[in-house]
């Protein structure tokens, strides 16, 4: 019997990452990556195992090459590495006139440096015909006030993913970007003023916040065999927001 392929979901204990991990568990053994929140990652693993899947949690710092390598190595113990999804990220609402070196460096490490290092490690280690997906944000094109660094990092990530798609295409590895709009996660609720969340929930054609599962379905399709001919794409998963 051929071994089930493995998938790494960096940020797999997070709001969107947890839904992505659960959805990928239908076709992969899943490595759920976390940084600070072992409990949330453990709950995702328990849910997957409870549904008959295979999953393990791995605590690593995805802003370092060594941390990402450790997650990929742990996944390879579950099965041949086919899929890597980067769901790591963070944002705040600093005005451009209040930016400091510390704010820029923090956002850079979490949002862009970790995505670039993930593209590098996954590009080297994912099997031929594999899948790489990175999460951007609708902010990358909406350019909301107080999000200058986040917008810059997500726009950079989108460009880098398209370059990676070109370089890895000869091995039939696809690299795609998913751009969620406002999505109902604990981090959105704890970081954002309720009035702003209310406005966000009315700003798309569907007039509601996205759910983590809305995003996970798009990621799952991009990682499926059916999506072989889609690479270097940036897919809006926003309920229609422009």
Ligand X SMILES: NC(=O)c1ccc[n+]([C@@H]2O[C@H](COP(=O)([O-])OP(=O)(O)OC[C@H]3O[C@@H](n4cnc5c(N)ncnc54)[C@H](OP(=O)(O)O)[C@@H]3O)[C@@H](O)[C@H]2O)c1
Residues assigned a catalytic role? 136-137, 150, 154
Smallest CA-to-CA distance from 117 within 160, 81, 82 is with 160
One-character DSSP codes across 159-227: HHHHHHHHHHGGGT-EEEEEEE-SB--HHHHHHS-HHHHHHHHTSSTT-S-B-HHHHHHHHHHHHSGGG
How many of the chain's residues bind ligand X (CB under 6 A)?
29
Dmax (CA) for the chain in angstroms is 59
Residue 11 sits in the site that holds ligand X (CB under 6 A): yes
Strands (E), the chain: 6-10, 29-34, 55-59, 81-86, 131-135, 174-180, 234-237
Measured distance CA(191)–CA(138) in Å, rounded: 17
CB of 2 vs ligand X, minimal distance in Å: 30
14, 53, 123, 156: which one contacts ligand X (CB under 6 A)?
14
CB of 142 vs ligand X, minimal distance in Å: 10
CB of 172 vs ligand X, minimal distance in Å: 26
**Span of 24-32, 89-97, 120-128, 217-225 interacting with ligand X by CB under 6 A:** 89-97
CB of 1 vs ligand X, minimal distance in Å: 33
3-state class (DSSP) for residue 18: helix
Tell me the per-residue interface mask from 105 to 144 with ligand X, x by CB under 6 A, - otherwise.
Answer: -----x------------------------x-x-------
Q: What is the CA radius of gyration of the chain?
A: 17
Measured distance CA(14)–CA(89) in Å, rounded: 10
Q: What part of residues 142-201 is at the interface with ligand X (CB under 6 A)?
A: 180, 182-183, 185-188
**Span of 44-52, 88-96, 162-170, 219-227 interacting with ligand X by CB under 6 A:** 88-96
For ligand X, which is the closer residue by CB, 78 or 117? 117
4, 43, 61, 201: which one contacts ligand X (CB under 6 A)?
61
Residue 15 sits in the site that holds ligand X (CB under 6 A): yes
Q: Any idea what DSSP says for residue 96?
A: G
**Residues at the contact surface with ligand X, assessed by CB under 6 A:** 10-11, 13-17, 34-37, 61-63, 87-91, 110, 135, 137, 180, 182-183, 185-188
């Amino acid at each position: 019997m051929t071994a089930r392929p493995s998938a790494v979901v960096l940020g797999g204990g997070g709001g969107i990452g947890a839904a992505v991990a659960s959805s990928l568990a239908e076709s992969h053994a899943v490595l759920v990556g976390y940084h600070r929140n072992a409990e949330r990652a453990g709950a995702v693993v328990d849910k997957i195992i409870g549904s008959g899947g295979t999953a393990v949690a791995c605590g690593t710092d995805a802003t370092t090459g060594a941390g990402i390598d450790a997650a990929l190595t742990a996944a390879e113990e579950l099965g041949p590495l086919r899929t890597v999804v980067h769901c790591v990220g963070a944002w705040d609402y600093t005005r451009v006139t209040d930016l400091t070196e510390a704010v820029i460096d923090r956002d850079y490490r979490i949002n862009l440096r970790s995505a670039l290092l993930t593209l590098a490690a996954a590009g080297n280690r994912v099997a031929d015909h594999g899948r790489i997906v990175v999460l951007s944000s609708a902010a990358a094109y909406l350019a909301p006030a107080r999000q200058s660094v986040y917008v810059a990092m997500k726009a950079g990530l989108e460009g880098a993913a398209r370059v990676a798609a070109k370089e890895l295409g000869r091995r039939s590895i696809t690299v795609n970007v998913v751009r969620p709009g406002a999505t109902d996660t604990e981090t959105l609720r704890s970081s954002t003023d309720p009035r702003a969340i209310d406005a966000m929930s009315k700003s798309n054609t569907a007039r509601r916040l996205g759910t983590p599962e809305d995003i996970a379905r798009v990621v799952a399709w991009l990682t499926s065999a059916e999506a072989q001919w889609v690479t270097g794409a940036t897919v809006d998963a926003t309920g229609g927001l422009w």
